[in-house]
Amino acid sequence: MTDPYAQSLEWLKDAKTILEKARRYREAFPDLQSLAHEQASAYLLMQTGMALDPDQVWWHHFRKGDNRRARSFTGWTHHHAPISSLTFTELWIRRLDVELQDEDADTIFRLNGFYRDGPGAQAFDAQNEVKLDPVKVRKHLWELDFANVVRERTDRFWSNEGKDLPVLLKVSFISAIESSLMAGHVTTEDRQRLWAWMGLEAGKRLSLAGLSGPGGTGDYSVRHYPMHGGGHLLTFALRNGRFLLYTPTADVVLQAFDDVAALRIWVSRQLHGEEGQSWYDSLHKPYAEVDEATRKAGLQRLRERSGTGPAPHWPFGLGAEVARPLFEQMSEWVRHDVEAGHRILVSNSDLHKQYWRHELGIAITVLSVFALGWQPLGMVLFMLGSVRLGLDIDALVNAPNKVQRNEAFTSAVCDLLVIAFSVYSVLTESTPEQWDTYMEVDQASSDLVSRAVRQRHKALLNQAELPGFEGHMAPTDEFGTPHVARQGERFYSFRHEGDVHNNLIEQYSGHMAKVNDVFSIGRQRLAAVPEDELRAFLDNLFDSMEQLPRSGAKVLWRGGRGPRVTIGARWRAGAIRRGDVLVSTDITSFTESPYIPRRFMLPKEAVDLPLAQVAEHFDDNTVLYELLVDGQASGVPVASLSLNWQEAEVLFTPGRYFRIESAGEVSGTHYRFLRIRLREVLKPTDKPIYAMRTGLPFDRHAYLQLVQHDAVVERFFPAAAWT
């Protein structure tokens, strides 16, 4: 397949299919929080006759002495904060604390109760109590084997959905290879061998068919070293002695070594270095937060096994050879990890054992059961712990409801797909029939392309010659904006902890976006911003943009609509034509994603509606600018710096000139717009210049009066060039 448009749609089709597999997989997984909420809701309705939300009903345990006789369901009132509190959903999972299991009814009523208010309430009495008998609740929870309910649902899940996991794990592994190559941890030759070992050809675009093959045959001998307490480590060995270390949950996921001695030395340095505990913990996720003494003892054991000196030992034992296809085996490990979690979420038959509280404490504090909502941790860590793409694992596991947890997981899988498919090089000059696709609402495809652009921009910025900052917080200027000084020059773009940061661009993509009004409609919306701060922001923003690399894109797009954009009517009236030159008069945003212009061709309330419902909004002022740049544009890549990364933006300063190469109507069943093809050029000296938005002749004097910032106008429209 050679047509770039067909290629772009083909990768999107396969990536979306895999994404849908991941979505179904996660949605089908038994969500502990949801199961508990469902059962607890039914119980509350049965006992109280009211449809109460179990997340808003609290069980409180009070200290002795904090109780007064009162006319209430329990017979007591309390006026101090409780010692401990659980929502009814949490209680459904955890049952009652050990010390309450043998307490008599009088004691339970005197020091405990159910209430509509959380632990911050001023009082706990008849006004906010829920009339539930705690003795009956305790009896019911003992009769209910909730862990067994979860286990049965999970077994059903593996039977129905488990077959998709090897494909998802292979995508994760490919993403780890590509990320490790970019970071310099493996070589191009390593990458080619690993792809061939999976039955794939490095450099060729992935397909669903290729990913569905078993892989895991050929050059490598693979050994698995299970970590004590959870976690996995693997080695890939070649006959020539070269080794790859695969640690799915560590910061360095894949690391290549010329021989086994180099591997042992590297591992020894990790264990004995200042960050040894952190590295050890990263190998043992999700158990990295077991009590500190246990973790330190585990690290010390490995240090002793490794030894010191020029020839350290391998500390992880003999391991076991992986005889079956790796990704099928990894699927089994994920299942075993989940089952291990079930054993921590103990069944009722275990509750009388002495270690019950310790084990359940691990479930709650380590696995963060209540916040986690019973995430399938093995799946999460195998698939997502291997790639650092700005993924916030805390955000994933702490999402407050199942929908948000599913979306966080799906979002992370999108990032894996972007790296695995390496898609961002295939989007090229558009043809009219493309817009039948790009004018439709397709959030999944749009999101995948935007993530690809964000990754490409991040890579471009990481290659730029920018200063770095070591420490917690960079210095700030008089307006509180972080920067780094180098040879007396301020850099508002700088490296910190492996990423490039620019707080000015971040602000511009958020609360300071309206500064662009200065160049178009004036300062009406900027009255609250002091003039000196406004001018400094613009000056520093433009300075920082000059310090960034160019975008290198092949084609960029920009959508527009009336009343602010009126160039369409000017073209149709013959006032401007092919060969005329337009100039950017403000901070001008283009996008590398063809799915984004639609959002700027429609009013805000219509952008997410099906195309058939928004046809009336396309009119003579609906415009698509298509900038043919072939990697030569002056715009800077900001997707990885912007709060609105989904827009896949490339920013141009004012004073950039674009020649009209062609223009013509593009239409479909439910849309129409004027497509104006542009190419960036130098300022011509012998012909008029037109404003990009309006198509009206550019008047520097009027522009100077509008902007009221002589230095900025002179910077982009020097008077000497306009005389």
pLDDT digits (tens, 9 = 90+) for 389-411: 333 444 444 555 666 666 666 66
pLDDT at 371: 30
Contact 696, 689 (CB under 8 A): no
pTM of the entire predicted model: 0.64
Residue among 351, 402, 427, 446 nearest 648 (CA): 446
Token pair listed for 209: 């068919």
Give dist(CA 699, CA 688) in Å, integer.
10
Give which of 669, 596, 272, 655 is closest to 433, Cα–Cα.
669
Cβ atoms < 10 Å from Cβ of 596: 23
- The per-residue pLDDT for 403 is 63
Find the angle CA(556)-CA(562)-CA(564) to the nearest 5 degrees.
80
Distance between CA atoms of residues 588 and 651, nearest Å? 6
What are residue 652's DSSP bridge partners?
Answer: 588
**CA 479 – CA 494 distance, rounded (Å):** 18
Highest-confidence segment of 32-41, 47-56, 355-364:
47-56
246 forms bridges with which residues in the sheet? 234, 254
CA atoms within 13 A on the CB side of 332: 8
| Residues in CB range of 442: below 8 A, 6 or more apart | 595
81 has a pLDDT exceeding 60:
yes
- Cα separation, 258 vs 238, in Å, equals 10
Total number of residues shown for the chain: 723
CA 152 – CA 674 distance, rounded (Å): 58
415 vs 685: which has the higher pLDDT: 685
Do 491 and 466 form a contact (C-beta atoms < 8 A)? Answer: yes
Quick one: pLDDT at residue 564? 80
**590 closest CA partner among 622, 636, 643:** 636
Q: What is the CA radius of gyration of the chain?
A: 31
For residue 484, how far is the Cα from the chain centroid?
Answer: 27
Distances (CA, A) of 399 to 212, 368, 584: 31, 12, 42
C-alpha dist (Å) from residue 330 to 279, 322, 654: 22, 10, 53
Q: What is the pLDDT of residues 228-261, one digit of tens each?
A: 656 688 999 999 999 999 988 788 889 999 999 9
Contact indicator for 648, 592 with CB cutoff of 8 Å: yes
Asked whether the beta carbons of 427 and 556 are under 8 A apart, the reply is: no
Q: CA torsion 160→161→162→167, rounded to 10°?
A: 140
Handedness of CA 255, 256, 262, 263 (dihedral sign): positive
CB proximity list for 25: less than 8 A, separation 6 or greater: 161, 164, 165, 168, 379
Two tokens at 577? Answer: 């034509």
Question: Helix, strand, coil shares of the chain as percentages rounded to 5?
Answer: 45, 15, 40
Cβ distance 185 to 251 under 8 Å? Answer: no
Contact (CB, 8 A) for 146 and 36: yes
pLDDT band at 413 (very low <50, low <70, confident <90, very high): low
Residues linked to residue 468 through DSSP beta bridges, in sequence order: 495
Residue among 253, 115, 247 at smallest CA distance from 176: 253
**Angle of helix 377-384 versus helix 326-344 axis, rounded to 10:** 140
Helix, coil or strand: residue 90: helix
- 8 A C-beta contact, residue 451 and residue 414: yes
Query: Pick from 392, 376, 446, 441: which is nearest to 592 by CA?
Result: 446
pLDDT of residue 21: 76
Q: Per residue in 119-136, is it b (16+ CB within 10 Å) or e — as a string? A: eebeebbeebbbebbbee
In tens, the pLDDT along 445-470 reads 888 788 878 888 888 898 888 988 88
Instruction: Report the relative pairing of strands 112-115 and 657-667 from DSSP bridges.
Output: unpaired
Helix 146-161 crosses helix 32-48 at what angle (to 10 degrees)? 130
In the structure, what pLDDT confidence band is assigned to residue 62 with cuts at 50, 70 and 90?
confident
Helix, strand or coil, per DSSP, at residue 591: strand
Give CA–CA dist 646/514, Å, rounded: 19
Beta strand ranges found along 646-715 (DSSP E): 649-652, 657-667, 672-681, 689-691
User: Which residues on neighbouring strands pair with residue 658, listed in sequence order?
Assistant: 582, 680
Enumerate residues 6+ apart whose C-beta is below 8 A from 402: 31, 33, 34, 373
Q: What is the DSSP letter of 205?
A: P
Per residue in 148-200, pLDDT (tens digit) is 777 787 788 788 777 778 888 888 888 888 878 877 899 989 988 998 898 88
Summarised one tens digit per residue, pLDDT across range 355-378 is 333 333 333 332 332 233 334 444
447 neighbors 453 (Cβ within 8 angstroms): no
pLDDT of residue 261: 95
Q: What is the pLDDT of residue 91?
A: 83
Average pLDDT (473-492) is 87
Pick 448 or 671 by higher pLDDT: 671
Buried/exposed 510-546: b ≥16 CB within 10 Å, e otherwise? eebeebbebbeeebeebeeeeeeebbebbebbbbbbe
Of 281 and 238, the one with more pLDDT: 238
Average pLDDT, the chain: 80
Look at residue 46 and give its three-state secondary structure.
helix
Q: Is the pLDDT of residue 54 over 70?
A: yes
Comparing 185 with 13, the larger pLDDT belongs to 185
CB-CB neighbours of 610 under 10 Å: 10
Tell me the C-alpha distance between 108 and 134, whole Å: 7
* Gap between the Cα atoms of 564 and 558, Å rounded: 14
First to last CA, the chain: 53
Amino acid type, 69: R
Residues 621-642 pLDDT 10s: 999 998 988 667 899 999 999 9
Say if residue 618's pLDDT is above 90: yes
